[in-house]
Amino acid sequence: MKVLMCTDGEDFAEDAIRFGGRLAKAMNADVSILHVRPPISPRNRVQLTTARKKLGEWNLEIPGVDSLIRAKEILTEIGLTKTAPLKEEKVSRAFRVDVHGATELHLIGLRGEMVRLRLREGHPVNEILEEADFGDYDLVIIGSRGHKGYSTHFVGSTALRVSDLAACSVLIAKNIKAENAFLLCTDGSRLAERAEIIGAEIAQKMGAKMTILSVAEEENDKEEAMQLTRRADMILSQSGVNAEQKTRVGRPSEEIIDEAKDHDIVVMGASGSSAVKKFFLGSTPLKVIEYGECPVLVIREKRGKISLQGTN
Partner 1 sequence: MIIRVALFIAISEVLLGLAKPGIVAQSFMSDSVFFIMGSLMIATALVKQNLDKRIALAIVSITGPRADRIILGLVVVSGLLASFIGEHTVAAMMMPVGVALIKYTHADWRKIRNLSIAILLSIAYGAMIAGAGTPSGGARNAIMLAYWQEMFDLRISYFEWITLAYPMLLISAPIIAFTLYRTFKPEVTDLSPAVVALKEKVAKSGKMSQKEWLTILIFLSTVLMWMTISDTIGLGITALIGVLLFLTMGIVKWEDLNNNVNWGTILIYGGAISLGIMMKRTGVAEWLSHSFLTWLEPTGIRSGLPLLAVMSFITILMATVMSSGATVGILGPITLNIASLSGTSIIAAGFITVISSSFCFLTAVASPACNIIYGSGYLKKSDFLKAGWKLILLSFIVIQLIAAGYWRLLGH
Site for partner 1, rule CB under 8 A: 9-11, 37-38, 40-41, 43-44, 46-48, 50-51, 54-55, 57-58, 60, 63-64, 66
Q: Which helix (H) or strand (E) holds 106?
A: strand 103-108
State the nearest-atom distance from the C-beta of 45 to partner 1, in Å. 9
Which residue number, 155 or 197, has a Cβ lying nearer to partner 1? 155
State the nearest-atom distance from the C-beta of 240 to partner 1, in Å. 43
Which residue number, 44 or 312, has a Cβ lying nearer to partner 1? 44
State the nearest-atom distance from the C-beta of 117 to partner 1, in Å. 15
CA pair distance 129, 101, nearest whole angstrom: 13
State the nearest-atom distance from the C-beta of 220 to partner 1, in Å. 49
Q: Transcribe 182-215 into DSSP letters.
A: EEEE--SSHHHHHHHHHHHHHHHHHT-EEEEEEE
Which residue number, 62 or 206, has a Cβ lying nearer to partner 1? 62
Which residue number, 54 or 230, has a Cβ lying nearer to partner 1? 54
Which residue number, 47 or 242, has a Cβ lying nearer to partner 1? 47
Which residue number, 36 or 236, has a Cβ lying nearer to partner 1? 36
State the nearest-atom distance from the C-beta of 17 to partner 1, in Å. 15
CA pair distance 8, 36, nearest whole angstrom: 7
Helix (H) and strand (E) counts for the chain? 11, 12
Nearest CA among 194, 185, 196 for reference residue 225: 185
Per the DSSP assignment, residues forming a β-bridge with 141 are 5, 171
State the nearest-atom distance from the C-beta of 122 to partner 1, in Å. 12
CA pair distance 208, 41, nearest whole angstrom: 47
Helix (H/G/I), strand (E/B), else coil: 161: helix
